[in-house]
Amino acid sequence: MARPSKYSEKLVDKMLEEIASGRSVIGLCREEEWTPNADTWYRWLYKIEGLSDRYARAKSHQSEREADIILDIADNATNQDYQVARLRVDARKWIASKLLPNKYGERTQIDHSSTDGSMKPTVIELVGKK
């Protein structure tokens, strides 16, 4: 017989609040006794209608918060701890670029034209029966 599920809307709301405030699912589930284990949480994301959208919104808020923290870390870095500050900033930038790639990701632009005009489009003419 399986154990009863801890799932409740109140529990999910609290977890999403904690995630939006910057906590990781793994850390939250490891440190707090009121949470399910991480495997259960990810199973809920898959099975419970609408939960993955709410989770994505919480992660988006988390990324916005981390972007604000980056400024604070950089502004408060000193000559003694600038390497630690750089590491903290780089880790947060990487996470933000992965969670919100359209906003914080690297922008790449591909130029399909040639500067000397040697690459011209091939024109194919379709001829039908008359």
**Average pLDDT over the chain, rounded to an integer:** 85
> What does the alpha-carbon distance between residue 40 and residue 36 come to, in Å, rounded to a whole number?
6
- If we measure between CA atoms, which residue out of 3, 32, 8 comes closest to residue 19? 32
Contact 20, 61 (CB under 8 A): yes
Q: Give the span between the Cα atoms of 87 and 71, in whole angstroms.
A: 13
Q: What is the pLDDT of residue 96?
A: 76
pLDDT, residue 41, reads 94
Rounded Cα distance between 20 and 12, Å, is 12
Q: What is the pTM of this model?
A: 0.65
Q: Which top CATH class is 9-102?
A: mainly alpha
Query: What CA–CA distance (Å, rounded) separates 71 from 64?
Result: 11
Judged by average pLDDT, the poorest of 45-49, 71-75, 92-96 is 92-96
Instruction: 87-93: list long-range contacts, CB under 8 Å, 24+ apart.
Output: 92/66, 92/67
